[in-house]
């Protein structure tokens, strides 16, 4: 089953400039493993050295944050859209 993954601009260097790519898998973990096969270098940008998702990367299935689901074991199904959203720090001076 193919899942659409929305890729933010800073990560599009590894997807050949594409803002959306397809990936195959039944969980977030499987989707990212498939993406790494097809787009080498992606994993090191979203995972820390200890194999955890980086804190400043938010992952959504459709509009739901995986932190409130089953994290990387969250199930995905055909037609779902995964969004990789880098956290943005901000404020005023």
Residues 78/4, Cβ–Cβ less than 8 Å: no
Residue matched to tokens 């400043």: 56
Q: Where are the domains of the chain?
A: 2-86
Residue 1 has pLDDT above 80, yes or no: no
Instruction: Please tell me the CATH superfamily of domain 2-86, with its number.
Output: Beta-grasp domain (3.10.20.30)
Residue-wise pLDDT for 26-80, tens only, equals: 999 999 999 999 999 999 999 999 999 998 999 999 999 999 999 999 999 999 9
């Amino acid at each position: 089953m193919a899942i659409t993954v929305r890729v933010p601009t800073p990560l599009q260097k590894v997807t050949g400039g594409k803002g959306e790519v397809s990936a195959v898998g039944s969980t977030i973990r499987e989707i990212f493993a498939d993406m790494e096969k097809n787009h080498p270098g992606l994993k090191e940008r979203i995972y820390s050295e200890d194999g955890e998702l980086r804190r400043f990367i938010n992952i959504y299935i459709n509009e739901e944050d995986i932190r409130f689901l089953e994290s990387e074991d969250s199930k995905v199904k055909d037609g779902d859209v995964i969004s990789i959203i880098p956290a943005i720090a901000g404020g005023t001076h």
